Structure 1
Amino acid sequence: MRLKLLFKLIIILALAGSCSAQDKNQSLPEAPLPVNDNFAKGADVGWLSQMEATGYTFYDTDGSPKDCLKLLKDRGINTIRLRVFVNPSDDKLTGHCSKEETVAMAVRAQNLGMRIMIDFHYSDSWADPGKQNKPAAWVNHTFEELKNDVYDHTFDVLSALKTAGVTPEWVQIGNEIPGGMLWPDGSTDNFGQLAQLLNKGYEATKAIDKNIQVIVHIDQGNNNARFRWFFDQATANNVKYDIIGLSYYPFWLKTDYTENIADLEYNLKDMVSRYDKDVMVVEVGEDYQKVQTTYGMLKAVIKAVKSVPNNRGLGVVYWEPEGAKSWSGYQLNAWQDNGQPSPALDAFKN
């Protein structure tokens, strides 16, 4: 009898030890991210007015036609980003985005209770890391005249918005400018001049409303060395800004997001600690045909931005989610071929 009791006791102790070991090896549930009710969940919709003008119809999941902005809002999006060109052409893809069109779309979005970001390209068409062409009207201007051009154009557009009852929450001075803007005068090869141009945009913005937050934006948000180099130079040259804006496109990096999402999170946190600036992913996108991948990428990016301490990660903006490939030819939209929003956008809910 004593042997039986001793044997049972040994088994009980062994099982208890086994359970304890399993508990230690189990990964603990992740701590919930801090709640940030002010988190910007955005969409850049610069193509929208032309899509509507050319007859593109947007549909809800029940097949009924619906205003695109309402469809986006239904999926949790609370912020609209709008690009501005100086003297754009009428080309449906590379033109438009004039002051007048920007004001009209901003009013529509604000009437739906959405927040507004304005993205100044300081060009007549696309400005990005590969091209930062001066507007045709500014081509022969001296550098001093260029500084006035930046100030006057920025002030003019924001004044028109304010007159229409819209004061943007954020303004971007330049779009994806790792090499500078208004080449060659504002190239990073002459960062001192770039700094003066950026500061003119900042000053014009604050002259409209000192509460507007000014963003300086470069690409490859997972590339910490790229960001340190640029913003170290910005600091040395006394660039005035409030927020560091990042683009993050695993597709263009020819990687899966799982390969560098940790690098994005590291860079976000490093920017805050190194420069004492808030951060925001102002452009993100993934292949519209890969719905689950795009959904997973969006969830991961939102999580990375929300993980920045003290709510200093401000938001995430999808670039042209409504830009259906049948209309735009753009692969990284988030719209289905049937005219309905991609389920990937549900990542913005909650």
Structure 2
Amino acid sequence: MQSMKCLLFLLLIATTGCGKSGSNTDTTAQTTNTATIGLPSTFAKGADVGWLTQMEATGYKFYNSSGVQQDCLQILKDKGINAIRLRVWVNPTDGWCNKADVLAKAIRAKNMGFRIMIDFHYADSWADPGKQPKPAAWVGQDINALKTSVYNHTLDVLNTLQANNITPEWVQVGNETNDGMLWEEGRASKSMANFAALINSGCSAVKAANSSIKVIVHISNGFDNSLFRWMFDGLKANGANYDVIGMSLYPSTTNWADLDNQCLVNMNDMVSRYGKPVMICEIGMDYASPTTSKAFITDMITKVNSVSGGNGLGVFYWEPECYNWQGYNLGAFDLSGKPTVAMDAFLLK
């Protein structure tokens, strides 16, 4: 998750109660996206729902486009979502997004037929481009000890999932690691070799759990080709092992078309330069502009599907179910707890 999203937590939110009716600034009626662009059956149309169990525990309800209360995951599935992304924190103080919470959400997703991505933050809370803090239990460890901690934690979580008949299709080794992770030892601008070694520890653990799982290295600003070349040139030079290049993209309502175009150029460059497929692991836009958001998502799905050689694997929306929650305004549900028209973009086939 990007730094700018974390800053949104500090904003004051409206007083609209959980599940109570509210209005969107764009009142466009819910529609069905009947467009067909030839998406392969393997194309991931995903949603990160890491906040879901916490929202439910505080009384949040979710409603389909007709206003009928339903399980949020069912609402997302009916909107075309076929994959769920879940973040893992090492030892969060409130328990949310720890191993047990992730397992509970993964079981629900698996039972509903979703494909699953696991996103390791390697922190006790948010890790993103602006901060990559060590978990409290790992503070003081040198790079060799950190490599061992990354391996053991990754393998433990994945073994727990597999003991419950859940094998993720993808695993992120780190979240938005624009300058590496586990700072300072793993800061890429300080030691790309150390960051590559941490990636390899995580990758080795993933493959030890199940060799079929695809390992993703994920950084933000998918439009920034120079950033991606710096990172993946550095990882290549230091022998990093991974399977997929992951990106985030959070444009505004006015610059999304330009950034989408730049992102497509970058995706094709990544495929040709490194021989790796690409995936958009996070997108989002202001919930109050749902028609613009729908156009953005539709364009992003179309562009990822057009990546050369069929190497665009999918698009995930970050926390679409959020409404009136912790000041986060880039979800895709309105203040009445219903999906906005933006979610219809995922009905593309």
SS in 2 for 1:260: helix
Report what 1:343 is aligned to: 341
C-alpha separation in 2, matches of 1:61 and 1:314 = 28
Map 1:232-243 to 2 at 5 A: 232-243=233-244
C-alpha separation in 2, matches of 1:246 and 1:255 = 20
Task: Work out the percentage of aligned pairs sharing the same amino acid.
Answer: 52
Report what 1:114 is aligned to: 114
Corresponding letter in the other structure for 1:166: I
C-alpha separation in 1, matches of 2:100 and 2:344 = 31
Pick the structure with greater CA Rg. 1
2:42 counterpart of 1:44 = no
SS in 1 for 2:199: helix
Report what 1:172 is aligned to: 172
> Structure 1 residues 228 and 338 mapped into 2: Cα distance closer, same or farther (>3 Å)?
same
C-alpha separation in 1, matches of 2:73 and 2:44 = 15
C-alpha separation in 2, matches of 1:255 and 1:271 = 26
Instruction: Flag structure 2 segments of 5+ consecutive residues without an equivalent.
Output: 1-35
Report what 2:30 is aligned to: none
Q: Deviations over 1:94-136 (max 9, x none)?
A: x610001101101100110000000000000000000000000
Report what 1:136 is aligned to: 136
SS in 2 for 1:96: coil
C-alpha separation in 1, matches of 2:250 and 2:66 = 31
1:311: how far off? 1.5
C-alpha separation in 2, matches of 1:219 and 1:143 = 24
C-alpha separation in 2, matches of 1:35 and 1:87 = 39
Report what 1:98 is aligned to: 98
1:33: how far off? 5.0
Q: Deviations over 1:181-204 (max 9, x none)?
A: 000000011010111111000000
Q: Deviations over 1:262-288 (max 9, x none)?
A: 111111111001100010000000000
2:288 counterpart of 1:289 = yes
The alignment's C-alpha RMSD in Å is: 1.2
Map 1:13-92 to 2 at 5 A: 33-90=37-94
SS in 1 for 2:127: coil
1:35: how far off? 3.8
C-alpha separation in 1, matches of 2:268 and 2:274 = 10
Corresponding letter in the other structure for 1:274: R
Between the two structures, name the one with larger relative contact order (CA 8 Å, sep ≥ 6).
Answer: 2
Report what 1:12 is aligned to: none
Q: Deviations over 1:205-239 (max 9, x none)?
A: 00011010000000000111110111000100010
1:144: how far off? 1.3
SS in 1 for 2:157: helix
Report what 2:331 is aligned to: 333
> Structure 1 residues 40 and 139 mapped into 2: Cα distance closer, same or farther (>3 Å)?
same
Report what 2:182 is aligned to: 182
1:310: how far off? 2.2
SS in 2 for 1:328: coil
Report what 2:29 is aligned to: none
Aligned residue pair count: 312
SS in 2 for 1:167: coil
Corresponding letter in the other structure for 1:43: A
C-alpha separation in 2, matches of 1:33 and 1:278 = 20
C-alpha separation in 1, matches of 2:45 and 2:243 = 19
> Structure 1 residues 323 and 35 mapped into 2: Cα distance closer, same or farther (>3 Å)?
closer
TM-score by structure 2 length? 0.88
Corresponding letter in the other structure for 1:174: G
Report what 1:19 is aligned to: none
Report what 1:316 is aligned to: 315
* Contact map agreement 1:83 1:119 (CA 8 A) in 2: yes
2:221 counterpart of 1:220 = yes
C-alpha separation in 2, matches of 1:142 and 1:168 = 30
Corresponding letter in the other structure for 1:305: V
1:343: how far off? 1.3
1:258: how far off? 1.5
Corresponding letter in the other structure for 1:141: Q
Report what 2:300 is aligned to: 301
Instruction: Flag structure 1 segments of 5+ consecutive residues without an equivalent.
Output: 1-31
SS in 2 for 1:181: coil
